[in-house]
Chains A and B, each alone.
Chain A
Amino acid sequence: MKKLALMVAMATVLTGAEVTGRVKAFSSLFLSGNARGPYLTHRSGEFFVKRMEVRLKIQGEVSDKISYGIRFDAFSGADAGFFPFPESGPLGSPVRSEPFEVNLYEAYARISDFLVENLDFTLGKQRISWGTADKISVVDNLNPLDFANFLTFDPDYFAERRPQLAANFEYYAGENTKIQAVFLPEKQYSPLPYGFSSLLFPGPSVSTHHPSAAVKRKENLLKNSNFGLRLSTVIFNTDVGLSWYHGNLHLPLFEGITYAVPNPEFQPIPQPQLQFSYPDLDVVGVDLSGELFSVGFWAEFAYFIPEKVEGEIRIGMGPSIPFQILEDGYFKYVLGFDYTLGIGTGLYINAQFLHGFFDERDYTSRAEKILGIGKWHFFGEIENYILARAEYKLASETVKVSLGTLVELGQETSYAVMPGIEFRLKDALSVQSGLFLVGGSRQTKFGAFRDDGMAFVSVKLDF
């Protein structure tokens, strides 16, 4: 850590780079007890997340045409590690008793007018954002979703995606048109929340006692690399994008169960092993944004063509009955609008209809039946949602009151309501507080969090 700090300091001094960053404390606690899960069990008033975050961003230019950006994120949990008592590390460092993690979040170099005029080349770990929808996008597939932080319900991480190693070529043909080609040498895997592997397990039709999990991953070969192409332009004052992504599912696909042969001597009960994979897929997307009568609108349509994956249920060395898991192709889309109503200083409203959450896929009916993949599970079937939020700013924008909502529309319905308030105490210093409350059927993706309502407080200082 000291070496890292020294390197950062030296690089900054030598290149005249700029250092910015953020210090943030985020805590959330449960408003009620939940003893039956399915995902979280806790007591009322119990903390869910207690963490400090520090971001450090270094940016600079080597020359007029070469620039770079590096971002480190450091996390520290307040929960002491007991072994069985909190012990310090070597030389008295409290590192063992206070879990701490540093992450190279982003690191890239950018060359403008690379080889030819108007071609920008960015190499490194980077976030490449596609699409026009607000937050929830169906064509933004170059970076894996940060699912680990999604379930902390920290609004800063809502549907955020993590930077990925990529070679990104952006050619600007005229004032409004861009042609982009991205090469991603690595497959993309969304980080899952700590202790949430149980989310992956199938529904009730498959009896699984103490299963283990096996994950199939593609070999690290050039032919297995991901890539994307995109053309964006403006037509009739509307921003239009056409994209093609060849990559992989970022979240694991449950594809079968293998039961080891029972051994009466050592293992009298068959031991199931769940099989997962991250199959390849192509996504062809169209996205639009513009305005009609001063109302902002956006629309995204994506057609997903997954690799054919055969599922299996096998007992010992016995034969397996193969079945196709995903449909040959399926649509996801999002339609949304925003507007500011002329009430007081302006009431901002934003609503979207979403067909297909980021974790959902179109399973064959056979796979649904055999594997017990229900509509409402995470990584389950495609469903419809309405997401909406309203914001109102007061006192010269030093106070922002917001109300967010998510409605899950399926055979059964649930909803989440997220009221919040943010105070800008000083420039670059803000305190945000809010609630995450869920109602409706428990047999829905978000309804399953019905007893996990929580309150959070977040303090942020930017420098």
Chain B
Amino acid sequence: MKRWMSVITVLALVLPIFSADGNAILKKVEERLVGDLAPRDTHAVMVMTIVDPRGNKKIREMEIWEKNNPGGEDWRLMKFRRPADVKGLGFLVLSEDQMYLYLPEFHRIRRIASHARKESFVGSDFSYEDMGTIRFSKYYYARLVEETPDQYVLLLTLKPGVKKPYGKIKMWVSKKTLLPTKMELYGPSGELLKVSQQEVRKIGKYWIPVKIKMTSVKKGGYTLLEMKEIEVDRGIDRKVFTKRFLKRRVK
């Protein structure tokens, strides 16, 4: 009995530490993704290669501007460069529930409600939600479930009352960069939906994800997202993240 009590006591002491470690590690990850240790702003060209289960490839190219928003989700502006039928299409994210789509053919800006976040982003394996820069700690508790010499493995579970497309996320975090290298994204009922793997590169003083592969486990196929011509801390004006600039043409 005494032995069992000591095991329970040890577990009771250890588990919160693991849990606290998980949340602390997640905080560090977020600091590098969207927080104080992330670039103040980023400008890049994003090339998206969508590969369907039969191996057919489609390519989308966008120009992207991002600015760190201390109060919430990063401001983000995306303008499509190709293919021709979506060229000029623009997407502006000011917060999770303030998004706009620019339709160049009609010179019209439409507000997009947050229900669209669960939809596929331009036919890729990424959803609008995946393309956002959410602060995981706002919606998920993190628990450290495994530690290797190179990586932490975190299990993120939804906080009570929160509704998100992913009920659970398993995240592998590099100890060197403190950025995720792999994520398994599970549905609300626990089924594995997608696997994301990413490569990072040091640009200036920052480690930046430059290649993300998102695989849809159920339907097959994957999307490879590559960031090119990355520039950081250019001092992008807040004015870029407005409807005025959403309408502007991209060369």
Contacts and interface: CB of A to CB of B under 8 A. Distances in A.
Interface of A: 18, 20, 59, 61, 67, 69, 120, 126-129, 132, 134, 160, 170, 172, 175-176, 178, 234, 237, 239, 289-291, 294-298, 338-340, 342, 345-346, 348, 393, 395-398, 427-428, 430, 460, 462-463
Contact of A237 (B50, B98, B115): B98
B111 A127 contact: no
A-B interface, 6 closest residue pairs, ranked by CB to CB distance from nearest: A296-B113, A397-B123, A427-B83, A291-B113, A462-B85, A462-B84
Nearest to B60: A427
B84 A20 contact: yes
Contacts, number: 103
B242 A67 contact: no
A428 B83 contact: yes
Contacts of A395: 52
A393 B113 contact: no
Contacts of B124: 396
A127 B52 CA distance: 38
Nearest to A143: B107
Given A345-B119, A345-B120, 12 more contacts: A20-B84, A126-B107, A127-B106, A172-B242, A178-B244, A237-B98, A294-B115, A296-B112, A339-B115, A340-B115, A340-B116, A398-B52
B87 interface: yes
Contact of A393 (B52, B97, B123, B241): B123
Contacts of A428: 83-85
Contact of B83 (A160, A289, A462): A462
A282 B123 CA distance: 44
Contact of A120 (B106, B241, B244, B251): B244
A427 B59 contact: yes
Nearest to A16: B251
Contacts of A345: 119-120
A395 B124 CA distance: 10
Contacts of A239: 111
A209 to B, nearest CB: 43
23 contacts: A18-B251, A61-B249, A61-B251, A67-B249, A126-B107, A128-B107, A129-B108, A175-B239, A178-B244, A239-B111, A289-B111, A290-B113, A294-B113, A294-B114, A296-B111, A296-B113, A338-B113, A340-B119, A346-B119, A395-B52, A396-B52, A427-B82, A428-B84
Contacts of B239: 172, 175
Nearest to A342: B118
Contacts of A170: 244
A172 B244 contact: yes
B107 to A, nearest CB: 5
B110 interface: yes
B107 A127 contact: yes
A104 B101 CA distance: 27
Contacts of A398: 52, 123
B215 to A, nearest CB: 13
Interface in B17-55: 50, 52
B122 interface: yes
Nearest to A68: B249
B52 to A, nearest CB: 5
Interface string B140-175: 000000000000000000000000000000000000
Contacts of B251: 18, 61
Contacts of B234: none
B201 interface: no
